[in-house]
Amino acid sequence: MTRLMETLRRLVRPTPPACSHLDQARSVEPRTEGCEECLAIGGTWVELRLCLACGHVGCCDLSPNRHARGHFAETGHAIIRANVPGYTWTWCWVDEIKV
Ligand SMILES: [Zn+2]
Ligand SMILES: [Zn+2]
Ligand SMILES: [Zn+2]
C-alpha cells in the first residue's frame, strides 16, 4: 500500500532532475575581477560566471569568447554562479539546470 502511494505520488508530481555535482561547490573567492582569460587577451564580456570549485571567473555564453564554458570543458568544474551583484543563481553545466 505504501509503495503504491509512492508510485502514485511520483506519477502525479515527478521529481525534478537532481544534480550530483553540488559537492564540487565550495565557498570560493573570485580569483580575478573580470574574466581571467579576457583580461589576458584584452577581450570583452557581457556577464561573468564564477566557478564554485576553484574561483575561476569566466565570461558567459552571450560573450564573444565564452570562457566560463571553456573552463568547464577544460577542467570539468560543473558548478558556476552568475557573478552579478544582486542577481545570483547557480548553474550546473553537466545537467544544464539551475540548482
Ligand atoms: Zn550537476
Ligand atoms: Zn572571457
Ligand atoms: Zn574551476
Q: What spacing in Å lies between the alpha carbon of 2 and ligand 1's midpoint?
A: 30
The per-residue pLDDT for 54 is: 98
* pLDDT tens by residue, the chain, 99 residues: 667 777 767 677 666 668 999 999 999 999 999 999 999 999 999 999 999 999 999 999 999 999 999 999 999 999 999 977 787 899 999 999 998
Q: What spacing in Å lies between the alpha carbon of 80 and ligand 3's midpoint?
A: 8
Strand partners, 91: 80, 98
The per-residue pLDDT for 87 is: 76
Q: Where are the domains of the chain?
A: 21-98
User: Which among 93, 23, 20, 11 is positioned nearest to 53, based on CA atoms?
Assistant: 23
The per-residue pLDDT for 5 is: 73
Q: What spacing in Å lies between the alpha carbon of 25 and ligand 3's midpoint?
A: 10
Q: What spacing in Å lies between the alpha carbon of 86 and ligand 1's midpoint?
A: 24
CATH of domain 21-98: 3.30.40.10
| C-alpha to C-alpha distances, 85 to 4, 14, 92, nearest whole angstrom | 47, 33, 20
Output the pTM of the full model. 0.81
